[in-house]
Amino acid sequence: MELANTAYQAASGTTSFMALDFSDLQVDCVTTVMLKILDGKCKMGNIERQFLSSIYDVTRFRESYLFGNDIHGVIQMARCGRGDMIREEIHELRQEAERAIGKPAMKAFKRMMRDRMTELH
């Protein structure tokens, strides 16, 4: 839990770990990983999921290149336990985003996030 709290502090800008100067593409990567977590296709452990969820909670207010603001309502519904009702929508949104972003960019983003998370620990 301590790592998750530190991650949230980092994500919200209260530590020098990360200034959240993410590019628009990186903001879209965060949202895409959030969709992947909610889709049940994410292979991350719980700590990593909490970390990315904390990052998402901060970056969701940033403008997105791929997504409109309605994506955040879909994610919120799924996080509040209504994911079964919109599972197919989440799955389709994730797949579309992954195709638009591309594997090399997503892999680079995940590697960057793993490296930054390692810096916390």
CB–CB of 17/83 below 8 Å? Answer: no
pLDDT, tens digit only, all 121 positions of the chain? 455 555 555 555 543 345 457 888 999 999 999 999 999 888 888 888 888 898 899 888 888 889 988 899 999 999 988 767 788 899 999 999 999 999 999 999 999 888 887 876 6
Assign 42 to helix, strand or coil: coil
Question: pTM of the predicted model, to two decimals?
Answer: 0.82
CA-closest candidate to residue 76, choices 113, 34, 32 = 34
